[in-house]
Amino acid sequence: MGDRGGAGGSRRRRTGSRALSQGSGGPVAAEEEVRDMGAGGDAPAPDKDKDGDDDVGSGHWDLRCHHLQDSLFSSDSGFSNYRGILNWCVVMLILSNARLFLENLIKYGILVDPIQVVSLFLKDPYSWPALCLVIVANVFAVAAFQVEKRLAVLFSYRDVNLWCREIRATKAKAKAASSGRAANGGAAHCTVSYPDNLTYRDLYYFLFAPTLCYELNFPRSPRIRKRFLLRRLLEMLFFTQLQVGLIQQWMVPTIQNSMKPFKDMDYSRIIERLLKLAVPNHLIWLIFFYWLFHSCLNAVAELMQFGDREFYRDWWNSESVTYFWQNWNIPVHKWCSRHFYKPMLRRGSSKWVAKTGVFLASAFFHEYLVSIPLRMFRLWAFTGMMAQIPLAWIVSRFFRGNYGNAAVWLTLIIGQPVAVLMYVHDYYVLNHEALTAGA
């Protein structure tokens, strides 16, 4: 094919030369001959060397070097490989934070002290309310189990067994068992039906499993992967120390230096402190997310051979506030949807009322988890959660695509430091200034 193409090209060149010498076509004939060769025709494409460049030694030159195409940064180009730009962003982020890290070391020295954290717990072991609550919670779990066993309080445990009693009463036990086998076809364990699930083994498996929603037959993994488990345990240890170090070295000095601007109501300095606190706070929150939802929950799931490992979805791609809250904490989202949102819909509530009710419950528990340890009631966490309702409407109404994703990230980066500063300021006023005034 290449030889014939070459011969054809030679014949055209000879024809063009003959026409030019006879004066019949003049420059027009020469232009047509060049256009014919450049457009492809029978002329071969230029050969490529091993680097992808034109092989100038082949003797076949493509006289056309322009094509109809868009610039790579244009949306119409279809180009999507921006890995190099992402790497550049990472490098710039590391360099900018390296400067802040060096500045922090020069100003404050090394403040990281893991022993200090351990000593806080060992100094007064009787003031561990969380551990006491965990121990006492067994009383309520066993009481709910005994009530369920005799009449056949854990919400999910109670509700699922209630549904099983209703199924049993309507003589649909065979249908329920077949659907259970279909849903857990890959499970390595036999299917359990009600009331055979009412055992202490089943109860405590549910209490320790990384889920809030009870099932008679959880999906189970076939074996414990020792290497996977070891990696998760090492991640738990490493990220725990990293979070403690970042809090001691980076956040504590920034928060301490924020008290004077709050006391003087110097708003420009307050905003500067807020922005300075936003970076370490957000970084620690991201590390905490990975530590809890990937390392810890996967380690527990691997130990218990719990098969459903969907503890989070791609919340980082959220283009709306609603999508973020539905995907960043899957265990809580499943519980809210199964035992709160859908029951309200079945009782005739509208979707908007049901969503508002879910946010109200979430706001209550956020405030509870902060106010009880700090021993003060300020409603900052509650207000922040309830503010998500109008914020979700604003983002979905005025921001789309990448702009919506940027708006979600902005609320995560700025919103949390505001609540942190509010609580720290109030705690400082209640505990330090009050003691100083009393002295």
Phi, psi of 48, deg, nearest 5: -110, 140
> Out of 67, 333, 366, 425, which one is annotated catalytic?
366
From the CA atom positions of the chain, what is the Rg in Å?
34
One-letter identity of residue 249: Q
**Closest-CA residue to 165 (of 178, 149, 153):** 149
366 annotated active-site: yes
No. of helices (H) and no. of strands (E), the chain: 21, 0
- pLDDT at position 154 is 60
Exposed/middle/buried for 251, CB within 10 Å: 0-12, 13-18, 19+? buried
In whole angstroms, give the CA distance from residue 402 to residue 217.
41
Helix spans in 184-258 (H): 200-208, 226-246, 252-256
What residue has token string 């009322």? 353
The b/e string for 100-125 (b: 16+ C-beta within 10 A; e otherwise) is eeeebeeeeeeeeeeeeeeeeeeeee
The answer to whether the CB of 209 falls within 8 A of the CB of 215 is no
pLDDT by residue for the chain (439 residues), tens only, comes to 444 444 444 444 444 444 444 444 454 444 444 444 444 444 444 455 555 555 555 555 667 777 777 777 777 778 888 777 777 787 877 777 777 777 777 777 777 777 776 666 666 665 665 666 677 777 777 777 667 665 545 666 767 777 777 777 675 555 545 554 444 444 445 688 777 788 888 888 988 999 988 888 889 988 999 999 999 999 999 999 898 888 888 888 888 888 887 777 778 888 888 888 888 888 899 999 999 999 999 999 999 999 899 999 889 988 888 899 989 899 999 998 888 899 899 988 888 899 888 889 888 988 888 888 788 888 888 888 888 889 988 988 888 888 888 888 988 888 888 888 888 878 877 776 655 555 5
In whole angstroms, give the CA distance from residue 385 to residue 364.
9
How many Cα atoms sit within 13 Å of 58 on the Cβ side?
Answer: 15
Q: Does the predicted TM-score (pTM) go above 0.95?
A: no
Hey, is 306 helix, strand or coil?
Answer: strand
How many Cα atoms sit within 13 Å of 135 on the Cβ side?
Answer: 5
Say which DSSP state 316 is in: G
Strand partners, 220: 306
